[in-house]
Homo-oligomer: A and B are copies of this chain.
Amino acid sequence: MGKAKIEMKKIEDNKMRNITFHKRKRGFLKKAIELSELCGKQMIIFIWDKEKNKLVHYQSNPDFNLK
């Protein structure tokens, strides 16, 4: 299967959207970890799933405090 250009709008189909989210979330968090480790940057990421009321949280460094 080749690459198809996909339109950048919310995926309407619930099941497809969940699958896309879980796949992309994985790759995205991998990229985040790589970025923070390679470049020595501190990162905080929040992804909020409004429908399920679930929060995904990644923090590269335990002592990164926004205050």
The interface of chain A, by Cβ under 8 A from chain B, is 6, 8-11, 17, 20-21, 24-25, 27-28, 31-51, 64, 66
| Number of identical protomers | 2
Is B46's CB under 8 angstroms from A44's CB? yes
CA distance A66 to B45 in the complex (A): 12
Known contacts A31-B28, A46-B66, A64-B48; A17 and B37 CB within 8 A of each other: no
Whether A20 and B42, one on each chain, are in contact in the complex, defined by CB atoms closer than 8 angstroms, is no
A60 to B12, CA, bound (A): 19
- State whether A34 and B50 are in contact (beta carbons under 8 Å apart), knowing that A17-B39, A45-B44 are contacts in the complex: no
Contact B8 A34 (CB under 8 A): yes
